[in-house]
Chain A
């Protein structure tokens, strides 16, 4: 079980007022919104709209449950129903969920992946399909548990695990390709 500062804050804070619960997530939601939209102006609109929707629907939030997963789900749904989001939805290949697990190969490149430049990693993240990008961000950046990710995305835990596995495989493929391109 992971005991991060954020997780403890979530646990203790989930019985407070809307502002007390919501504002600590502001910077993180904005960062996620930027990753989803690839546009800081659109991301600001998305975050603003998310907070207003969350405030109006706060009565439907069950005190004691995970606020971070709840508000991220609002942000995600708001994005997916926006003009930009609808285009993204159209490109999601749902067959990915049922495909077989990818097999990793340990190659000399894979050992170098950990040392790739931040910029290369960011480019690879940007290149990932939205549903792969967001699950990596929720797991690796937000350090959400599989259970939280399941709530935030509205998918079963089994799907979380398989999608995460595929997302990482895709990420490594992009990074390996990126390093090839950078190689003189």
Chain B
């Protein structure tokens, strides 16, 4: 008969498992076992059974073929094939090349755009500084427009300015990047506005002004494309005034 109070320690003792009762947790039990043949026999039986169970349970052995299969699967899963390893590297290289190419393209475009704007500013300032700023001096659009006939490979409409704050001063023929270009000069209060009109041509510097309105050295620049022609307004007037003239020109071009 097992003595009361000891049985709950039997499994822990047989399994040599600490239950947190300190280094001498089994000392009292061992003392008891020395004087109790029944409990000692029970412990002995449990130890024998544990040993026998361990021997009986080690029953199944995997085949070497199965082990190889699992190892092969692990290799296949953990070591990506060459076909996969180079793809991220290639993707990275392509992305880098694209980034450099796009950056270069954008920078070149920006540089050319700035260069074209700078040239138009120079032409506008030079015109205003000239004692003969225009070749055809007239406030009448029906005089200025025909003046360009035979001088330009294109024609354009000029807006009716009556009732508007703008006044047409005249125009002249200039060459921008070796292309014939109409330069019209308008007046708004004491400000002069140059309107450059040329054929749209992706290869020409004039077209590189792009679709924009911007401030350059205090000047307002507005540029757009309409009916195959590129318009660029340059002036020291404010953006609102420049845009208003642009709207008048756009309306005239639609007629």
Which residues on A are within 8 Å of B, measured CB to CB?
1-2, 18-19, 22-23, 26-27, 30-31, 34-35, 40, 43-44, 47-48, 51-52, 55-56, 101, 103-106, 110-111, 113-116, 118-119, 121-122, 125, 136-137, 139-141, 143, 145-146, 161, 164-165, 168, 171-172
B73 touches which one: A30, A51, A110, A140 (CB < 8 A)? A51
Shortest CB distance B89–A (Å): 22
Task: Fill in one digit per residue for B47-61: 1 if any A CB lies within 8 Å of its CB, else 0.
Answer: 111111111111111
Say whether, besides A111-B45, A114-B49, A140-B54, A165 and B60 are in contact (CB < 8 Å).
no
**Is there a chain A Cβ closer than 8 Å to B114's Cβ?**
no
B60 touches which one: A34, A55, A110 (CB < 8 A)? A34
Complex Cα–Cα for A27 and B60 (A): 8
Which 7 residue pairs are nearest across A and B when measured between Cβ atoms? A114-B48, A121-B56, A34-B60, A30-B62, A141-B57, A118-B56, A140-B53
List the A side residues contacting B47 at CB < 8 Å: 114
List the A side residues contacting B15 at CB < 8 Å: 139, 146, 164
**14 sample A-B contacts, Cβ–Cβ < 8 Å, listed by A number:** A18-B78, A27-B62, A31-B58, A31-B60, A44-B62, A56-B77, A103-B2, A113-B52, A114-B48, A114-B51, A118-B52, A122-B56, A136-B53, A140-B54
Give me 9 other A-B pairs in contact (C-beta within 8 A), A35-B57, A114-B47, A118-B55 excluded: A26-B67, A34-B60, A55-B74, A56-B77, A101-B7, A113-B48, A115-B52, A136-B57, A161-B11
List the A side residues contacting B17 at CB < 8 Å: 2, 145-146
List the B side residues contacting A111 at CB < 8 Å: 41, 45
B53 touches which one: A40, A110, A125 (CB < 8 A)? A125
A140 touches which one: B19, B57, B66 (CB < 8 A)? B57
A18 touches which one: B44, B48, B74 (CB < 8 A)? B74
Q: Are A30 and B18 in contact (CB under 8 A)?
A: no
**Is there a chain A Cβ closer than 8 Å to B42's Cβ?**
yes
Say whether, besides A113-B45, A145-B17, A51 and B74 are in contact (CB < 8 Å).
yes
List the B side residues contacting A43 at CB < 8 Å: 60
List the A side residues contacting B109 at CB < 8 Å: none
User: How many B residues touch A, CB cutoff 8 Å?
Assistant: 43
Shortest CB distance A159–B (Å): 13
**Is there a chain A Cβ closer than 8 Å to B16's Cβ?**
yes
List the B side residues contacting A106 at CB < 8 Å: 1-2, 38, 41-42, 45
Complex Cα–Cα for A79 and B134 (A): 94
Nearest B residue to A145 by beta-carbon distance? Answer: B17
Complex Cα–Cα for A116 and B49 (A): 9
Complex Cα–Cα for A116 and B38 (A): 20
Shortest CB distance B12–A (Å): 7
Say whether, besides A19-B71, A19-B74, A114-B48, A141 and B58 are in contact (CB < 8 Å).
yes
Nearest B residue to A167 by beta-carbon distance? Answer: B11
**Is there a chain A Cβ closer than 8 Å to B253's Cβ?**
no
Nearest B residue to A44 by beta-carbon distance? Answer: B66
**Of residues 74 to 100 in B, which have CB atoms within 8 Å of A's CB atoms?**
74, 77-78
Nearest A residue to B10 by beta-carbon distance? Answer: A104
**Is there a chain A Cβ closer than 8 Å to B31's Cβ?**
no
Q: Are B45 and A31 in contact (CB under 8 A)?
A: no
Q: Are A31 and B78 in contact (CB under 8 A)?
A: no
Shortest CB distance A48–B (Å): 6
Q: Are B12 and A103 in contact (CB under 8 A)?
A: no
Complex Cα–Cα for A136 and B14 (A): 13
List the A side residues contacting B56 at CB < 8 Å: 118-119, 121-122, 125
List the B side residues contacting A140 at CB < 8 Å: 50, 53-54, 57
**Is there a chain A Cβ closer than 8 Å to B69's Cβ?**
yes
Say whether, besides A104-B42, A113-B49, A122 and B78 are in contact (CB < 8 Å).
no
Say whether, besides A27-B62, A161-B12, A110 and B48 are in contact (CB < 8 Å).
no
Shortest CB distance B27–A (Å): 16
Q: Are B2 and A104 in contact (CB under 8 A)?
A: yes
Question: Counting chain B CB atoms within 10 Å of each CB, which of A22, A119, A121 scores highest?
Answer: A121
